[in-house]
């Protein structure tokens, strides 16, 4: 089996590669080269004509689209590239998959919700994105759904890994630079280690490809790790785990502050916990906990 992986140098893309290699031959696509010098097809995925040409040349059996425009605040001023990558690209991949009878795996976000809920969001809950990033990701979901291709969309939240730009790496950097930190304590979500999400992706693809096109388990599913926390709690967990792992010499002083103390261009949902019952019941997947995942991720960071 021949798998096309886009966004190969991103947080999730880098974790997907070893998982997908267990299923078949993986062709990597991104704008950039990868650390470690793996062979990669360098392609700006915003050029949809070139994407179509690439697909016709490679004819992948499976497309795993981990490419995304993820700069949430920048998207408020840059809506055209955000919609190009988050909505038009998935639409283009999906239409090609439909015409050629191929399978598309794609990722979406908790930011499709408004965050005024009080209990975990299920897949069928009404959406209501607060900013351009969420709107563009929602448009990507619609583009795939309306194409009629065989697809699977994993909505996830608060992704972190040893690479790229994420809350864990930012907190570790700030804790080494400053004696005290103010952290938002009124937004609640589920931090998700990119490696767990990549493992779930492999499991889903493997189950769906072994049963074939008659298997109707498709559409939107939620996966996030199982521990719901505020950013403040998450930071506390990062610092105490890092202290244990010898990555920090001392705990910084922490002050809990409201979101309003950190004005940002894009508004964030205050509550974006995703209910993962559907993927658990349909695919037998058990979400991982925060503490063991953080510990393993910090080991990776330590090695790097």
Active-site residue numbers? 133
Using DSSP's 3-state secondary structure scheme, residue 273 falls into coil
**Can you tell me which residue has the tokens 């890994």?**
161
Task: Kindly indicate which of the ranges 56-64, 91-99, 102-110, 238-246 contains the residues binding ligand NAP, using the contact rule CB under 6 A.
Answer: 102-110
- Strands of the chain (E only): list them: 2-6, 25-30, 41-42, 62-65, 103-109, 150-156, 159-160, 180-184, 188-189, 192-193, 219-222, 229-230, 253-257
- Of 4-12, 143-151, 213-221, 289-297, which segment contacts ligand NAP by CB under 6 A? 4-12
Q: Binding ligand NAP by CB under 6 A: which of 51, 66, 190, 198? A: 66
Q: Which is nearer to ligand NAP, 169 or 175 (CB)?
A: 169
- The two three-digit tokens of residue 250, written as one number: 């001392």
CB-nearer residue toward ligand NAP: 213 or 219: 219
Q: According to CB under 6 A, which one of 25, 32, 77, 253 is a site residue for ligand NAP?
A: 32
DSSP helix/strand/coil, 234: helix
> Which 118-137 positions form the footprint of ligand NAP (CB under 6 A)?
137
Q: Which is nearer to ligand NAP, 19 or 70 (CB)?
A: 70
- Please give the residue whose beta carbon sits closest to ligand NAP in the complex: 10
CA distance 68 to 106: 10
Backbone φ, ψ for residue 184 (5° rounding): -65, 130
Q: Does 13 bind ligand NAP (CB under 6 A)?
A: yes
Closest distance between ligand NAP and the C-beta of residue 175, in Å?
A: 20
Q: Closest Cα to residue 274, out of 155, 194, 107?
A: 155
Residue positions counted in the chain: 304
- For ligand NAP, the binding residue among 4, 20, 75, 109 (CB under 6 A) is 109
Residue among 112 and 278 whose Cβ is closer to ligand NAP: 112
Candidates 193, 189, 269, 268; CA nearest to 231 is 189
Q: Is there binding between residue 139 and ligand NAP (CB under 6 A)?
A: no
- By CB under 6 A, the residues from 194 to 223 that bind ligand NAP are none
Q: Does 83 bind ligand NAP (CB under 6 A)?
A: no
Which residue from 4, 20, 45, 279 is in contact with ligand NAP, where contact means CB under 6 A? 45
Q: Which is nearer to ligand NAP, 50 or 59 (CB)?
A: 50
Closest CA to 123 of 288, 283, 279, 285: 279
Give the range of 67-75, 144-152, 270-278, 283-291 binding ligand NAP by CB under 6 A: 67-75
58 vs 251, beta carbon nearer ligand NAP: 58
Instruction: Select from 3, 4, 5, 11 the one that contacts ligand NAP (CB under 6 A).
Output: 11
At closest approach, how far in Å is the CB of 247 from ligand NAP? 21
Q: Please provide the DSSP assignment of 89-153 as one string.
A: HHHHHHHHHHHHT-EEEEEEEGGGS-S--SSPBPTTSPP--SSHHHHHHHHHHHHHHHHT-EEEE
Instruction: Report d(CA 203, CA 129) in Å as an integer.
Output: 29
How many angstroms separate the CA atoms of 108 and 141, rounded?
7
| Residue ranges in contact with ligand NAP by CB under 6 A | 7, 9-13, 30-32, 44-46, 66-70, 85, 107, 109-110, 137, 156-159, 164
């Amino acid at each position: 089996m021949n798998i096309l992986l886009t966004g190969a140098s991103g947080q999730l893309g880098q974790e997907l590669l070893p998982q997908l290699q267990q299923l078949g031959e993986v062709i990597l696509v991104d704008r950039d080269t990868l650390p470690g010098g793996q062979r990669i097809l360098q392609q700006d995925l915003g050029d949809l004509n070139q994407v179509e040409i690439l697909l016709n040349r490679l004819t992948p059996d499976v497309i795993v689209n981990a490419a995304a425009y993820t700069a949430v605040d920048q998207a408020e001023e840059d809506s055209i590239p955000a919609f190009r990558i988050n909505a038009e690209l998935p639409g283009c991949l999906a239409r090609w998959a439909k015409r050629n009878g191929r399978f598309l795996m794609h990722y979406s976000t908790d930011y499709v919700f408004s965050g005024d809920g009080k209990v975990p969001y299920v897949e069928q809950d009404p959406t209501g994105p607060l900013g351009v990033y969420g709107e563009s990701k929602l448009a990507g979901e619609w583009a795939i759904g309306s194409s009629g291709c065989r697809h699977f969309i994993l909505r996830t939240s608060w992704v972190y890994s040893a690479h790229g730009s994420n809350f864990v790496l930012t907190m570790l950097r700030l804790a080494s630079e400053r004696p005290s930190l103010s952290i938002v304590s009124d937004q609640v979500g589920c931090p998700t280690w990119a490696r767990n999400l990549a493992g779930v992706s492999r499991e889903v693809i493997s189950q769906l490809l072994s049963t074939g096109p008659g298997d109707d388990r498709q559409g939107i599913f939620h996966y996030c790790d199982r521990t719901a926390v505020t950013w403040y709690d998450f930071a506390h967990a990062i610092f105490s785990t890092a202290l244990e792992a010898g990555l920090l010499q001392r705990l910084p002083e922490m002050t809990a502050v409201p979101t309003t103390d950190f004005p940002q261009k894009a508004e964030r949902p205050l509550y974006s916990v995703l209910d993962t019952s559907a993927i658990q019941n349909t695919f037998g997947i058990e979400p991982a906990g925060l503490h063991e995942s953080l510990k393993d991720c910090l080991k990776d960071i330590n090695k790097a």
